[in-house]
Structure formats: structure tokens, C-alpha cells
Chain A
Amino acid sequence: MSKKSFRQAINEALRQEMRRDPTVILMGEDVAGGRGGSAGTQDAWGGVLGVTKGLLEEFGDTRVLDTPITEASYIGAAAGAAVTGLRPVAELMFVDFVGCCLDQIMNQAAKFRYMFGGKARTPLVIRAMFGAGFNAAAQHSQALYPLFTHIPGLKVVIPSSPYEAKGLLISAIRDDDPVIFLENKVMYDEEEDVPDEPYAIPFGEANLTREGRDVTIVAFGRMVGLANQAADRLEKKGISCTVIDPRTTSPLDRDTILECVADTGRLVIVDESSPRCNMATDIAALVAEEAFDTLRAPIRRVVPPHTPVPFATVLETLYLPSVDRIEAAVTATMAHRVAEKV
């Protein structure tokens, strides 16, 4: 066990699964990142943010494939490789580029098992980085997990810490269905203790990072950390929160969310994706339908405005959910008084 960054945890998961299973291959733009040059490095980039660094050296260029900048071709190739026996991990770089290859994901990979009557397996992982806060502007900052969650046949994973990232990526690679694995790009340098050995965290099982009496907060990815910070502050004011990290949006651990809401009677959802038809609306609908009678206050959502992600740093900061905004939402839901029934 040692401290590892989010980046190192992902790298270690890839490395250990590639050692364990020779059918695991990597492909994507700059996953190796060019060779030669005066330094003679074999993987000059190792992924644009260095996540796949060192894998070319260990596994060679038959298993670590640099692709042209043609998402439709290599994501399609990865889907084809998956149905014909490999376990490709394709990196889409910025998730915003999904526009170029959505057919391969939505109409091909996601549909194979269904359209072939259950006879096809598609053990494909698509890794991509997402999220605002990196000052990468509107075309490189979106949090598109609701888009993937909307498509039956895909599993969608959003790790919230280095420990979670390693265990969830190992599960993703061992899974026989297409998995979209989304890494918040602001988190790559976050560190925590991560076991050196391989381990798998199952999908569809939410993690409660804390348990409280008053309010349930559901948060995704990087927002889990912010929710915990807000809960720390609120605790000093005498408000105790449960924080749920669903880990995967598809499958979604509905039972844990409903159980916690039944316990606390109040729900705040923190979601950094665009506010219309996002996870916050999805979970609000779930709770309104299944647990309406347990609610003691209206559900509150802490979400960005319905605009492209701004480039200007001050506006980008305003755009994202923050610890302050989560704290305010929890305080507001606590202040709500249900009218006494006559």
C-alpha cells in the first residue's frame, strides 16, 4: 500500500490487467505519443496527460497502439476487436470528441449483445476525460455522462478518487459489456493510499462516504469530494449528512439512494453536467416516484447553468457546483418546513 495519484492508479490498473490478460490492448490518440526525436523516447506523450506513460515500453507496439486522429475509425475498430476476442481499452482523450464516433458507440458497440440475441460479447472499455475546472474551454470541458447513461447497453463509470479509479477500471476491463470510464481531468494529481495488488470494485454498488441523520447528498466523481467538504462544515453547525457516491450511473444503485432518503427525508443532488436531463433530474425522478412519502422537503439540485462551459476562469468557477453552493442547498433543505396537515 502506498500513496498514489489518480493518474498512477489508472496506469497501475491498466498495467496489471495487461500483465494478467494478453488480450487486453490499448489504443487511442497519443496513448504512446510518437517516438524518436533527439531524446529517443519511445512514448513521448504517454497520453496527453501522461496516464498511459510507460506502457508502450513494457507491452510494445502490438498492444499499445497509437491511432490517427479519426475517432470514428479507431473506436469502431476497438468495438470490432472486442466482439472478435480482444479486450480493447480505447482512449477518447476528451469526452467532447464523442461527437465524431457516436454511431460506433451508440448503434454498434452498445447494441451488439442485443441485436445478436445475446450471442455477442463486447468487452470494450472507452476511457475519456471530462469536466470543467481545467480552463480548457467549451469544447473540451463537458461532463457528458448523462449522454452515455441514456443509452441502454452501455455501462458508465465515474470514479471519485484514486482508490476507486483503480478498482473500477479493473472491473471495467474484466466486464463483458462496453463500459464508458470517465476521468475528471482536474483529479489526476489527487493522491491517496491505493493497494499495490489488483482489486475489483463491483458496478452498481454505491459507496457511502459518510452516514448522517439529516440530509442525503448524492454526488458524482469529483463532486463527491466537494460534498464531503460541505458535510464537514455542516457537521459543525449540527447538520449531519449521508454522502452517496453511486460510482456508476449505469447500472445505478437505486436501492441505496432510496434507503438513505427514507432515513434522512431530505435529498440534495450534486451533478456537474448540464442541468437538463442529467443525473440530478434522473435521481430526482426516481425519488419522487418511489419515495415521495418519505420526503420532508423538496429535492434540491446543485448543478451548473444551462450554458456552454465558459473559458474565463472567474466564470468557469461560477459555473461549477462548489462547496459553498452545496452547503447552501443543504441549509435550505433543512430550513424547509412542511405545512402541518389539518
Chain B
Amino acid sequence: MTQDIIPVTMPKFGLAMTEGKIAGWMVEPGAAVKTGDELVDIETSKITNAFESPVTGTLRRQVAGNGEMLPVGALIGVVADAAVPDADIDAFITRFQADFAASSDAQSGSAPVDEPVMMTVGEHTLRVHERGEGDGIPLLLIHGFGGDLKNWMLNHDALAHGRRVIAFDLPGHGGSSKDVGPGTLEFFADVTAQLLAQLKISQAHVMGHSLGGGIALTLAHAAPQSVASLVLVAAAGLGPQINMTFINGFIEADRVRAVQDALKYLVHDKSLIGRRMADDVLRYKRLDGVDAALRRVADACFPNGRQGDDLRSVLAAVHVPVSVIWGQEDEILPVTQADGLPGGIERHVLPDIGHMPQLECADRVNAMVEEFMKSRVFAT
């Protein structure tokens, strides 16, 4: 009875996983397994994880042996009742393998690849990740100082409904080229405008975090026609204070622990800052040109330990809807910088949240942004 034969396939442990290795079976063929029993260790480029049985039954076959590397979705084993004849199991495996081969051929031919691409924009090479499609006004995501497009990892996909959503690495950051020119907000806003032009986007919602918020405001000032609305998450430019212990600590840190200590300022729940995250940042900081780029940006944007740009007048002058989102416990840019904003601006202050609400309470931020784009933006 075919319906009693259940395939066990290579799991997907996170967005980036495309293949995995059978690091070691923990259950012998013929053994009974229950849902949730550890079945097999799967090794990926990042982690090794025990894969738990999705079903109860008897492990009839280990289709993939220890050490085999297989794509996500490939058949690794078969669970069925002990009464199912071997011949049925064999037939099931043959059919599954044929179907899987056919579908993966079709995918490799046509499916769009959900990966960042490198784009030449003026004198810069930018790493750009575009998701979603549709007629909605596109949304552009601008990360902050020392960050990269992965800062939006919990927002990017969630917001990509009915519109293009573009995240990118600013010059000097992530996988983009490391020349930051004068390192000013005007410079970054200019590169951002060039990127929009290259993507053939005449107008976009612009969501910026921290320094990226300052860039979004600068863009709204320099090229108002290109901005449909602004979502400013703990944005730069709304007050003079900035935590230079973080900025300098981030620049100087050359060991995982030091990076970890610096990153802790970013969030209220310190347990979010793991060794992996710090290691990832350290790998970025080791790239040639990054140190000089970060110092240039810090010197240009935070001279004498204060924010050099006051963009409150820009905020007062813009004619587009604006939403300001801030964590009550922000340790980088104090939440008081969200006070005294011009009327008509939507303002969300989130309790028990630090400088990165989009990471620390992604679902709430995503819902706010979705609602804001729906309700506050007029038809064009």
C-alpha cells in the first residue's frame, strides 16, 4: 500500500542550505522510529544537526549512505510499516527518484535564483538582492553603519508581496566594493539614486535603518520625486547624540569577543548576539579596504563624537508619508530623538527593544510597514 510508505528527504535547515551531507545514521534499517526520534545527522556548510523523524513507523531503507552529499529534497530514507513488502518499497524508491530527477532538471532550467547579484553602479560594484514582483510601488531597504543586506533577513522576504523589494550593500559594506568616496550621507544618497535609476525604478518606498535612515532622508531631500514614502527605523539625522563607544568599538574590534561586545549595544536582548554573528562581522571587517571605509564614514558622519547632519528640517519639508520606528531601549541613538517630530508623522516606540527593531521584533515591524504602505500611500 503506497500510502503507507513515507519518504524521508534531505531537510532544509535555513535559507542558504541547498545541499547536505549524511554525517551519520543513528537508526539502523529495520528499527522502529517515532515522530521526533533522532534519525540521522545532517551536515551543512554551517552546522551539523540531528534530523528528527517526521513520522512513526519502521525505517525500511537508508537510501543515502553515510558521507553522501545530496541536494535538499532528495530521498535519503524510507519509513513504512514492517508489513509493507520489499518489492513495494523498491518500486516507491524508483518512482520517487525518477520524479525528483525530473523536477530538479526543470528547476535548474527556469526557476529564478533567489540570490544577491553583483551590479555595476557608476564607479561602484554593489551587491543587490531583489525579491518579489508585482505592480506595487517597489520598496528599497537601506542598512546602517557596518551592516549589510542581511540586516533585513527577517523582513525582506516577508515584505515582498505584490511588489519588488530591493536590499543592497552600501559601498564599503558587505559584498560591495569598498570605496566610500567622501563617506557622507550625500555620497550614499547619490549612489542609492543611481541604483534606483539602474533598476528602472522611478519611485520607491524607502526604508532605512540608522545611518540608512539618514541616507533615506538625504535622498528624499536631493531627489524628492524618487521617494514615495519613508520608513525610518532608529534613523540618523534626528538628533546630535550617538554612542561612540559602539562606533569606535566596532571599528577597533579585531577578535570575536570584542566584536561580540560591540554588537551587544545593538539589541536589548543580548542573547541574540551569538559567536556566529560576531564571526560573520569579523570576516567582513578583515576584507581589504573595510577598515579605511568604516573610519572614513565615521569621520564624515560623526565628527567630534556627534552626528554631523541635522535632517529635522528635511523631515519637516517632505511631502510624503513618513513612519518612524524606534526601540525604547536603543543604546546607539537614544529614543528621545523620536520626540518632537512634525505633525502627521506616524510614530511607533517599541518597549523592550534596542537599536534593531527589524531584527529584534521583526514580525511587529513587518506588520507596521505593510500596514503603512497600504494605508498611507496614495494611488499613483
Contacts and interface: CB of A to CB of B under 8 A. Distances in A.
A185 B224 CA distance: 59
A208 B274 CA distance: 13
A106 interface: no
Interface in A270-318: none
B50 to A, nearest CB: 7
A208 B256 CA distance: 9
A167 B286 contact: yes
B287 A199 contact: yes
A232 B40 CA distance: 13
Contacts of B237: none
A15 B253 CA distance: 28
Contacts of A237: none
Contacts of B256: 207-208
Nearest to A1: B175
B304 interface: no
Contacts of A193: 45
Contact of A208 (B178, B275, B287): B275
Contact of A198 (B48, B283, B288): B288
Contacts of B255: 205
A236 B50 contact: yes
Contact of B288 (A200, A201, A202, A205): A200
A200 B41 contact: no
A192 B45 contact: yes
Interface string B228-268: 00000000000000000000000000111000000000000
Interface string A177-209: 000000000000000110101111110010110
B27 interface: no
B22 to A, nearest CB: 13
Contacts of A21: none
A232 B275 contact: no
B362 interface: no
A189 to B, nearest CB: 13
A199 B275 contact: no
A211 interface: yes
A195 B45 contact: no
B23 interface: yes
Interface in B88-142: none
A195 B283 CA distance: 9
Contacts of A202: 254
A195 B287 contact: yes
Contacts of A1: 175
A3 B45 CA distance: 10
Contacts of B254: 202, 205
Nearest to A205: B255
B48 A232 contact: yes
* B23, B275, B283, B289 interface centre (most CB from chain A within 10 Å): B283
A167 B285 CA distance: 12
B126 to A, nearest CB: 14
* B41, B256, B289 interface centre (most CB from chain A within 10 Å): B256
A205 B256 CA distance: 10
Contacts of B289: 197
Contacts of B23: 232
Contacts of A167: 286
Contacts of A207: 256
Interface of A: 1, 3, 163, 167, 192-193, 195, 197-202, 205, 207-208, 211, 232, 236
10 contacts: A1-B175, A163-B283, A192-B45, A195-B287, A197-B289, A198-B287, A199-B287, A201-B286, A205-B254, A208-B275
- 5 pairs of A and B residues whose beta carbons are closest in the complex: A199-B286, A198-B288, A199-B287, A197-B287, A232-B48
